[in-house]
Structure 1
């Protein structure tokens, strides 16, 4: 029983350490992961894993090692922000794999990328044929950014000369039966107005609503719990 309590304590401490470090390093640690970020994430996980499964390693040693590693990564991130010349070494650089419709095989080879992998990355960018691509850039996080050829490009509202309209963000009003009063205020609505909208849909309580969303110039979208089933 004592061993289980120790394991639980070490897991809680490890979770806290990782949370603090990831908060310090920022969201890009995983949202825009580079090879260096991947290595740092593996080492952080290994440090915490050792604390749980290696009885010879004390929790304070893992805390010290994790915090030290987090500080080192933070300093490296700071260097890449301040010293532009270090970014290519530590973060890598984007590579153009398709230029003016022509595939750059030497760039693919340099990045250890084959045609099948490139096709998969292009499909993830909503491009299903290499022939439709004017430029394709392999980003440092391993994804491909695509600029399609003119004939395959999607026209914009400006191209179609459509009269401009104000762009607004949708505001969530209810989630899992709970009214988000701050969002309600942001939308310029009162609780009474929300209740009236719910009554129009034969809903008497906000607790019966799974999700509700407001968007300018549109009726409030309401999804009752019964539609979830």
Structure 2
């Protein structure tokens, strides 16, 4: 077998087991990527091994040394956050309340560089398709969101109560970040004038004052201002 292939095979084996050992030592958070720091750390570890494989000017022993030093630093940080609770907000971040008592916390979204489209996407990941279902929403340090539903939308499920089947409607987004969503009006077969008139009756001057608005068949408008 060609010497280059033997060298590459050796580097792959060593790199594979080096990452395996580091993963075992550092724990599962390097796989689940609990925080942005964990995510970046995992990327750097992989990059260090990749450099050993493809950069012939860097000896494998130097890269193994770098992996050990980097892994040691990560391990020390993990020990600090486990032992010293006060260090966690600085090193891992803190959960943020982005929905409180059914209201979107706009300042909290801006602080975390999260827009409404991203918020809605995260809610759908949790099986929530309407803001009106949420009493509290917490943005976790890993970027996911956990929700506490309002009482009418909490368990038990309808089947447990032996309720008659009822059709489920999908909420139609009408206003986002102060801008009217034309596609929403098309779905409802409504004009912009209708929406502005609805806002006027609710004492809202116009769409620019609305952070979020949706329509749900049978329940009407859900509107949240800035």
TM-score by length of 2: 0.68
Give the CA RMSD over aligned residues: 1.4
Distance in 1 of aligned mates of 2:13 and 2:106: 49
Q: Report the Cα offset of residue 5 of structure 1.
A: 1.3
The match for 1:43 is 44
Distance in 2 of aligned mates of 1:30 and 1:128: 29
Structure 1 residue 152 corresponds to structure 2 residue 169: no
The match for 2:10 is 9
Matched-pair contact (CA < 8 Å) for 2:133–2:150 = yes
- Structure 1 outlier segments of 4+, above 3 Å: none
Matched-pair contact (CA < 8 Å) for 2:138–2:147 = yes
Q: Report the Cα offset of residue 33 of structure 1.
A: 2.3
Structure 1 residue 114 corresponds to structure 2 residue 115: yes
Distance in 2 of aligned mates of 1:17 and 1:29: 14
Unaligned runs of 5+ in 1: 161-229
Offset from partner CA, 1:69-128 (integer Å, 9 cap, x none): 111100100000001111011111000000000000111111111111111100111111
Distance in 2 of aligned mates of 1:8 and 1:20: 18
Unaligned runs of 5+ in 2: 162-226
Distance in 2 of aligned mates of 1:16 and 1:111: 37
Matched-pair contact (CA < 8 Å) for 2:30–2:41 = no
Q: Report the Cα offset of residue 32 of structure 1.
A: 4.4
Matched-pair contact (CA < 8 Å) for 2:33–2:39 = no
Between the two proteins, the alignment pairs up a number of residues equal to 158
Q: Report the Cα offset of residue 154 of structure 1.
A: 1.4
The match for 1:23 is 24
